[in-house]
Structure 1
Amino acid sequence: MSILRRFRSSGPRLLPELDDVDLGRVRRQLNSLGIPGQGAIQVDQVERLVQQAGTDWDRRGHRLAVLAEAAAPSGLARSWRLRRPNSADPMVFEAWVELVRGRHAGRMEDARAAADHCYRATGVVPEDPTPWVVLLGILRLMRADSRELFAVWNEVVERDPWNREAHLQMLRYLSPEECGSRGRQLEFVDTVRTSVPSTAPAVAVELTALVDEHARVAAKGGVEGLLVRRQWTNSRAARALDAALAEWPRPGHLRHAAARADLNLLAFALVQAGRPRESAAAFDLIGDTATAWPWVLDGEPLQEFGYWRSKALV
């Protein structure tokens, strides 16, 4: 039994910040009950945390995404923008918060205003891909024309070729449930698979597509739903799983901000493929940090994660 297994804490937890301790501290502050004067302190904390990421676009994007989710119920984003009306970070953050609200509601209250914040931010910090990433999410939610979306996509990859959030946005936009088809999605996946470095933040695009396909088939029910696990025995799925299993669980191999989320994805896929014992190395690196998706596809996330981790780490 490894040291990691022996000294595991009491149980799995859903931590959107994953292993970013500083991000987790600020997120918890944003989720705490409000007290007089706390808003100004929270703005300071968010501003400092985002600035600390510097030009590490991957870390910066991860922090903004988690903080936007936490700040969505409050007026913090607007307060920050009003305090720094000519700064790019508050503009992008308010646009991201509006995007989060729009995803929950199914529509944005004022998509044009959020998009304008993004465009203004690109003029302030032209080298930053983040405003374009948020704009990509806005256009996806609006089911915008593919020409408009791909123009924004090109702006992202010109600045950050393997941006994780942007690749996942494109993957879902090109799905048959949204504005594409199974064929267009597979074409995108194949393009990424043949060129993505094995340590890049976007390395999990193909495995994400396979899990999405698993969920799509399972949702149909009937005979197809009952036989959904057969999907994992075809050559494409088996190759993708084997490739990920050979590299991702190696300590230090995945260094991007959402590495633990991708390891959760790998563990889930191995479980669905009937290979839970092979997920032990991934669970070792994950520790107690569970992610809601994709475990929620099979039930209550923490219960599913805990059950399969106990099966793997015996």
Structure 2
Amino acid sequence: MVGYHPAGRDTALYTAVQDVKAGHWMQMRQVLARTGTWREWTARTQVLGVAAARRNVVELWLREEPQSVAARVMYARVTTERALDAHRSRQPAKDPRRVQQLDELADRARQACRRADGLSPGDPVAPICLLALAETDTAGRFPEHRVAPPPPDVLLPHGPWGLLEAAHRREGFSREAWHRMLRVLQVGPGSVYLSRRAVAMDFARWSASKAPLGSPLLLLPLYAHVEEYRARRDRGDVMLSLWWINESIASAIAKAFEDWFGRCNPAAASSADLNYLAHALTAGGFLKETAAVFHAIGDYATPAPWQYVTHDPDQWREEFEATRSACLRRFKPPPLVGRCP
């Protein structure tokens, strides 16, 4: 039975998320105390931050343990999620009082991030959250959101490049940091010559060109292509049937399969990344390769991208299962061999 949970295969994180939803914080505290790498720390705090954003669980934790660094980091997470959620759900905000309220939420999150950063200066979460908050700066209040790109990549737009670099110094090629940057560029002002999606696509391709073998950033162009596909479908583009077999897109799909999936441990990979790759391989006609990815996914399907490519987003599970069944009827998946840590 296909199901979805943001924790994916991380059973300890699953327990903590369920505890947070019940209004408790002890399991969150325990799972974070047992987290051993920045990569895992970033991923787990992100999932927990989303789960806790509409509850006062982190505030209760801080009340009990005001000196806890982990609780301060989680407070930065939840205040960031609250600011982003308010900004996205109420755009465009034309009422000056509402604009002020949104700015105050974002400023509160920035203060929480800076306090967490002061307590744990090597932690990548604070700069990642500050990078994410650039999305809310629609008036251009903060100079750090309008920094020139690193030379010689002058064709990329100005943006929060310093915050991306700060996150990169702490967690090299951080998956979340690059995805946050992609989102900022997708919703940003773009330029006179390029649409926001074109700017985001250039960034995704640039990122994939810099990423090492086995890095999930090699899939970033696939995320950008899905967004472009959605926009074209909404406009009624009649040529969408040919979208995924375009030569440049097919090349990006093949590179993602060979240089990421072929070199990583699928059991430790992001469920979203596996699902995006499975969709792209199927749409691009790489059915034999798709079988191995579907085997790695198991029943850990994710709503995106399946909800974006079906006529009824609520039927995304049916879309996933139909695509998987059609593929596995024709091809038996090979044994999985992961080579990245």
TM-score with structure 1 length normalisation?
0.84
Give per-residue Cα distances to partners, 1:258-284, cap 9 Å, x unaligned: 532211001111233344454111000
Alignment match, 1:192:
207
For 1:140 and 1:57, how far apart are their aligned partners in 2?
Answer: 24
After superposition, the Cα gap between the structure-2 partners of 1:53 and 1:133, relative to the gap in structure 1 and judged at 3 Å, is: same
1:139 pairs with 2:134: yes
Tell whether the 8 Å contact from 1:87 to 1:124 is kept in structure 2 after alignment. no
For 2:246 and 2:117, how far apart are their aligned partners in 1?
Answer: 44
- Matched positions, count: 290
Letter in 1 for 2:125: T
Given candidates 8, 15, 27, the residue that maps to 2:5 is 15
Alignment match, 2:115:
120
Given candidates 264, 280, 296, the residue that maps to 2:291 is 280
Q: What secondary structure sits across from 1:15 in the alignment?
A: coil
Unaligned runs of 5+ in 1: 1-10, 33-38
Give the deviation of 1:43 after TM superposition: 1.7
Tell whether the 8 Å contact from 1:277 to 1:311 is kept in structure 2 after alignment. no
For 2:189 and 2:83, how far apart are their aligned partners in 1?
Answer: 18
Alignment of 1:94-243 (within 5 A): 94-106=75-87, 108=102, 110-143=105-138, 144=140, 145-147=145-147, 149-175=160-186, 177-180=187-190, 181-221=196-236, 224=237, 226-243=238-255
Give the deviation of 1:255 after TM superposition: 5.9
For 1:142 and 1:28, how far apart are their aligned partners in 2?
Answer: 33
Alignment match, 1:60:
41
Letter in 1 for 2:293: A
For 1:179 and 1:16, how far apart are their aligned partners in 2?
Answer: 30
Letter in 2 for 1:53: T
Q: What secondary structure sits across from 1:313 in the alignment?
A: helix
Q: Percent identity?
A: 29
Bigger drift between 283-292 and 111-120 goes to 111-120
Letter in 2 for 1:284: H
For 2:265 and 2:233, how far apart are their aligned partners in 1?
Answer: 30
After superposition, the Cα gap between the structure-2 partners of 1:257 and 1:156, relative to the gap in structure 1 and judged at 3 Å, is: farther
1:85 pairs with 2:80: no
Give per-residue Cα distances to partners, 1:71-119, cap 9 Å, x unaligned: 2221101112233333332222122222323333336562112111111
For 1:30 and 1:172, how far apart are their aligned partners in 2?
Answer: 27
Give the deviation of 1:202 after TM superposition: 2.5
Tell whether the 8 Å contact from 1:132 to 1:153 is kept in structure 2 after alignment. yes
TM-score with structure 2 length normalisation?
0.78
Tell whether the 8 Å contact from 2:208 to 2:221 is kept in structure 1 after alignment. yes
Root mean square deviation of aligned Cα:
2.2
Unaligned runs of 5+ in 2: 89-101, 148-158, 191-195, 330-341
For 1:256 and 1:210, how far apart are their aligned partners in 2?
Answer: 25
Tell whether the 8 Å contact from 2:25 to 2:61 is kept in structure 1 after alignment. yes
Letter in 2 for 1:51: A
Give the deviation of 1:50 after TM superposition: 1.3
